[in-house]
Amino acid sequence: MMIFKTIDWVNNKVRLIDQTQLPGRSHYLDIDNVDDMAEAICSLRVRGAPAIGIAAALGVVLAADQSIQENMELFLENVRNAMDVLGRTRPTAVNLFWALNRMEKVLDRIENLKPADIRERLLQEALEILNEDRRICYQLGAFGAELIPDPAHILTHCNAGGLATSEYGTALAVIYQAAEQGKKVEVFADETRPLLQGARLTSWELQTNHIDVTVLCDSAAAYLMQQGEIDCVIVGADRIAANGDVANKVGTYMLAVLAEKHQIPFYVAAPVSSFDLSVISGGEIPIEQRDRSEVATYMGKMTVPESVKVYNPAFDVTPNSLVKAIITEKGILRPPFHVSITNILQKNK
């Protein structure tokens, strides 16, 4: 369906579209070592919770390739070090740790294999994560599309689309499937400061896939809702606590409060891998603080005076009470979420 490939394994390298260059340039990077992969994740060349998980898993394979000529001890040490490096790139999205954990489990079952065989198993697991993600996003979209009225004016934030996953996306998968079902869908995309993922990525992706889209400043969403222009809000998630509190791109909590005020349903779309039962409530989720330069400069030009402080959290936490439903590949979860999340995860085993 998608006209672009977010991330793929091509000729023993990771090919990814450099999202910092969009929408001006569709530039693909071929990454062949783990340090470049860690840099690509840190600097948001690849971003979005599920895509980060895939990138990290494939990054482990690159590390294995780099050490494949070494003796077993050094090979394993280098692969495990690579996992540490990749695990330190971004703290909030749980899919990163979930994917690395799956790769780690491959190493636990190596028995008497040689490095080359271990590398094959790592690659199989990483490709399985990638392919699973594609199926999950498609299934999630099919469940979520039932929630979309016809016609629908849908507000979204950041990019929870094909660019944030292997394909289709999470929040945008719902929109794509509703549109495929013939529903008349109009999307309003928050530009999403400071890095403009909505302006640059969501609008580009939706337009590329022939979905009607309008970009607005994040602060204008309230006025749009007040005017009665929005039927529902759908966003993705970087991590969901056991009680259904949702960590997602900063501004998500703002939308959830505004949706409540205007009696607009607020939906979260995320794969089951975004749930983190080790975290009881959202307050325990680490929130990444990013560099002041993201807010204070633009295209190299200063927009905030040099010695002025900047507050730049990359994420916020939306309490479960503001979430109408969580759309997963296993079905639609309703409150009370501590029950529905537990049930779905048990079914998942």
Residue 101 or 214 having the CB closest to a second copy: 214
Query: Residue 286: phi, psi to the nearest 5?
Result: -65, 130
Q: Could you count the other beta carbons within 10 Å of the beta carbon of residue 339?
A: 13
Q: Find the shortest distance in angstroms from Cβ 178 to a second copy.
A: 19
Residue 151 preceded by cis peptide, ω within 30? yes
- The answer to whether 60 touches 90, Cβ cutoff 8 Å, is no
Least distance CB 190 / a second copy (angstroms): 7
- The CB-of-284 to a second copy minimum distance in angstroms stands at 14
* Shortest Å, Cβ 289 to a second copy: 11
Closer of 65 and 245 to a second copy (Cβ): 245
238: annotated active-site residue: yes
Question: Residue 66 burial (CB < 10 Å; 0-12/13-18/19+)?
Answer: middle
Residues of the shown chain interacting with a second copy in the complex, contacts defined by CB under 8 A: 23-24, 157, 188, 190-194, 196, 199-200, 203-204, 207, 213-224, 226, 250-251, 253-254, 257-258, 260-261, 295-296, 298-299, 301-305, 307-313, 316-317
- Terminal Cα-to-Cα distance of the chain (whole angstroms): 30
Which C-beta is closer to a second copy: that of 146 or that of 212? 212
Name the residue nearer to a second copy (CB basis): 226 or 348.
226
Q: Which of 238, 245, 276, 316 is catalytic?
A: 238
Q: Within its chain, how far is the Cα of 54 from the centroid? A: 10
Distances (CA, A) of 157 to 8, 215, 242, 250, 323: 25, 10, 23, 9, 15
> Which residues are tagged catalytic?
238
